[in-house]
């Protein structure tokens, strides 16, 4: 296990460095990340490099056995670069250049910026390639923005479209430019779609794809140099979990493994199950189908202008274990010490402003010691999930551009299913629409709004071959270019799902004057009553069985939820959003039963379960997210690795308690 903290030696007097390195070693740390925002320290003037201070910091760390991950420091350009090459700063929609002085302010089509990025990357790689305790690289920092609207980006967008479509007639067809007389006569007539709410949806979708591609290309330029100069080093990047301005599958392609930055307490008041952080971890693992690192882990209250709540005693440890349980092989806390200057004075580290090793430091040391002891057993293990959720950036973007019904948002829709699986104690993989689905017993396809024919055909084959598929409202509305399929919904999935959807409607925002709902009732455990909100698709079963329907008189011919036996598999369709959480628990239970999936442990409310396996080992992680002791029914006679005690059939977990069972 690679365990440590993000360290900024340039923020502290040099005489403090040895103390920090010693305290890291005493805490059981073995790895740190350096130079993330240090471009101006490394290249104070164009072409003049000063690496001596970083050499000295690395040497101090090496004496204590601390390895280092270096960053290409291009997330914050030096003032001299912005002054000499103002075109390197992004241009806003208002036609004004961003003001230098924050991070992530770059135009990625700027030749000056790209050349400067390659120069500092090559200079660092050449200088540190043989430094003994340097083990790898992080590219830049948290790729994602800004979006630039300058003439250079407009011209690059036109070139990107020309390469993608080849002929202007093909672009006109793909974008449906016959509508509103938008047909283009030359490539130069194509402009940046500034207003996603009013511009051509297909143009907006391609602009989003182009923005993502620019970030991927910028990273690829750095990776190419690092691979050439430092072939013995690994390369990663610190992703941002469920952030969706970029196609993370594409951004991950050039890397050895994915890392991500996890701050679950920023969004919460009182502690609660960290389902968002769990789903983000599962997505990060899915980007390359392999384990990941946490490059920035919650170390205390975070924030720029105001700070969030503090981690409760034991919570910093349980946050770390949640990520290890879902595939983390590296744990780097952000940051080592709370900075006394700059915008992140309130983004707290393991040490406070005073630099003392108090509660959070001690808890991190306890966690590090435990993880180092577990490392031999964790080696060669990962999560092998029986359930997959299709996570599609094209659909996420297309829904944002043209959501259809009020309140439609991919992540809210996905979370309803994910949280029910979380409560059921079942692990999940996130997959691309084009991934092989054969390894999974159940596949969920929430909001699969963009559905190319080849993906629909693969889903049909999956169900026919014995898989259990769940699709829901707005499935298969558009093709890959953003044009609506000229078919009755759900199009090529009609046979697998056994429904025909000729009409649909928006129910408005719940609680607003224009909003309304339908009562939903089914049979048996689905008797309800439940409440249909936001949207209702008038789904007429063709071969499917209606499991739940609408009570309102005009909706009685239509089904809210259906189940269709198809080939050797089953296709479920949910044509609405149901307000009650319990409905999703019941729905997931039915899917799992059809697929023959049973969890090892069914956790009580507030307890998380995750299984890592491989190399002949199975490790079951139990994490209590609540402030109260929880009793969990577990297999008896298993070794609990943190206490070295055998289980008796019921395991007591204290507030934020953690247990690891060797099955």
Could you give the residue numbers annotated as active site? Answer: 142, 296
Q: Report helix, strand or coil for 523.
A: coil
| Pair 501, 539: CB distance under 8 Å | yes
Which residue has tokens 């104070």?
A: 44
| Pair 270, 656: CB distance under 8 Å | no
Alpha carbon distance 596, 656 (integer Å): 32
In this structure, what token pair is assigned to residue 656? 């934020």
CA 271 centroid distance within chain: 21
Q: Report helix, strand or coil for 518.
A: strand
Alpha carbon distance 533, 576 (integer Å): 7
Q: Report helix, strand or coil for 455.
A: helix
Query: Between vectors from CA 322 to CA 636 and to CA 581, what angle results, nearest 5°?
Result: 85
Contacts of 101 (CB under 8 A, 6+ apart): none
Alpha carbon distance 339, 300 (integer Å): 13
Query: Between vectors from CA 54 to CA 48 and to CA 57, what angle results, nearest 5°?
Result: 160
Alpha carbon distance 640, 638 (integer Å): 6
User: Strands, E, within 192-231: which ranges?
Assistant: none
In this structure, what token pair is assigned to residue 631? 């009793």
Alpha carbon distance 387, 429 (integer Å): 6
| DSSP characters over 60-97 | HHHHTT-EEEEE--TTS--HHHHHH-GGGB-B-TTSPB
Residue 320: which H helix or E strand, with range?
A: helix 315-325
619, β-bridge pairs: 612, 662
237, β-bridge pairs: none
* Burial of residue 363 (number of CB atoms within 10 Å: 0-12, 13-18, 19+): buried
Residue 566: which H helix or E strand, with range?
A: strand 559-566
- Rg, the chain, Cα only: 26
Sign of CA dihedral 294, 300, 305, 308: positive
Helix axes 151-165, 201-229, angle to 10 degrees: 90
Dihedral angle of Cα 365, 368, 369, 370, to the nearest 10 degrees:
120
Alpha carbon distance 103, 110 (integer Å): 16
CA 585 centroid distance within chain: 23
Helix axes 410-424, 275-288, angle to 10 degrees: 100
User: Strands, E, within 368-467: which ranges?
Assistant: 387-390, 428-431, 442-445
């Amino acid at each position: 296990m690679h365990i440590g903290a993000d360290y900024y030696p340039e923020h502290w007097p040099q005489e403090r460095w040895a103390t920090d390195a010693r305290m890291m070693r005493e805490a059981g740390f073995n790895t740190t990340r350096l130079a993330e925002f240090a471009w101006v320290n490394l290249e104070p003037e164009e072409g003049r490099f000063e690496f001596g201070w970083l050499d000295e910091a690395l040497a101090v760390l090496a004496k204590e056995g601390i390895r280092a991950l270096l960053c290409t420091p291009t997330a914050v350009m030096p003032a001299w670069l912005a002054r000499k090459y103002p075109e390197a700063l992004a241009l806003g929609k208002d036609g004004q250049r961003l003001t230098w002085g924050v991070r992530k302010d770059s135009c990625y089509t700027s030749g000056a910026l790209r050349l400067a990025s390659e120069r500092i990357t090559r200079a660092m790689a050449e200088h540190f390639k043989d430094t003994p305790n340097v083990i790898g690289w992080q590219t830049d920092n948290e790729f994602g923005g800004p979006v630039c609207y300058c003439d250079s980006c407009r011209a690059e967008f036109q070139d990107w479209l020309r390469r993608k479509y080849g002929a202007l007639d093909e672009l006109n067809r793909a974008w449906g430019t016959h509508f509103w007389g938008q047909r283009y006569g030359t490539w130069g007539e194509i402009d940046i779609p500034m207003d996603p709410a009013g511009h051509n949806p297909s143009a907006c979708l391609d602009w989003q794809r182009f923005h993502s591609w620019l970030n991927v290309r910028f990273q690829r330029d750095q990776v190419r140099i690092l691979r050439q100069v430092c072939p013995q080093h690994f390369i990663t990047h610190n992703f941002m979990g469920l952030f969706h301005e970029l196609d993370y599958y594409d951004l991950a392609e050039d890397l050895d493994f994915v890392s991500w930055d996890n701050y679950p307490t920023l969004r919460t008041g009182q502690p609660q199950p960290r389902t968002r952080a769990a789903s983000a971890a599962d997505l990060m693992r899915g980007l390359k189908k392999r384990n990941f690192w946490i490059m920035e882990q919650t170390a205390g209250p975070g924030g720029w202008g105001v700070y969030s709540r503090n981690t409760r005693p034991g919570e910093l440890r349980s946050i770390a274990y949640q990520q290890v349980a879902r595939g983390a092989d590296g744990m780097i806390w952000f940051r080592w010490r709370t900075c006394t200057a700059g915008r992140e004075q309130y983004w707290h580290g393991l040490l406070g402003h005073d630099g003392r090793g108090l509660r959070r430091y001690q808890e991190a040391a306890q966690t590090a010691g435990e993880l180092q002891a577990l490392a031999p057993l964790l080696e060669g293990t990962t999560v092998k999930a029986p359930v997959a959720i299709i996570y599609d950036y094209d659909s996420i973007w297309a829904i944002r551009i043209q959501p259809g019904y009020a309140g439609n948002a991919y992540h809210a829709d996905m979370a309803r299913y994910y949280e029910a699986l979380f409560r059921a104690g079942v692990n999940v993989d996130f997959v691309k629409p084009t991934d092989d689905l054969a390894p999974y017993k159940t596949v969920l396809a929430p909001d699969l709004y963009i559905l190319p024919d080849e993906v629909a055909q693969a889903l049909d084959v999956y169900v026919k071959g014995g898989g259990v598929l769940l699709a829901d409202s707005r499935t298969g509305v558009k093709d890959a270019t953003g044009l609506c399929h000229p078919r009755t919904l759900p199009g090529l999935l009609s046979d697998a799902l056994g429904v025909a959807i000729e009409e649909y409607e928006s129910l408005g925002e719940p609680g607003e004057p224009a909003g309304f709902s339908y009562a939903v009732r089914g049979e048996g455990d689905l008797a309800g009553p439940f409440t249909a909100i936001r949207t209702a698709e008038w789904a007429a079963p063709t071969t499917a069985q209606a499991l739940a329907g609408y009570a309102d008189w005009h909706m009685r011919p239509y089904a809210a939820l259906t189940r269709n036996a198809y080939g050797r598999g089953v296709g479920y369709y949910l044509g609405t959003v149901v307000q009650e959480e319990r409905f999703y628990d019941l729905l997931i239970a039915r899917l799992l039963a059809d697929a023959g999936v049973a969890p090892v442990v069914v956790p009580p409310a507030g307890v998380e379960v995750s299984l890592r396996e491989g190399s002949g080992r199975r490790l079951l992680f139990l994490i209590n997210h609540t402030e109260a002791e929880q009793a969990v029914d577990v297999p008896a006679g298993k070794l609990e690795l943190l206490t070295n005690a055998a289980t008796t059939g019921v395991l007591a977990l204290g507030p934020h308690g953690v247990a690891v069972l060797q099955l």
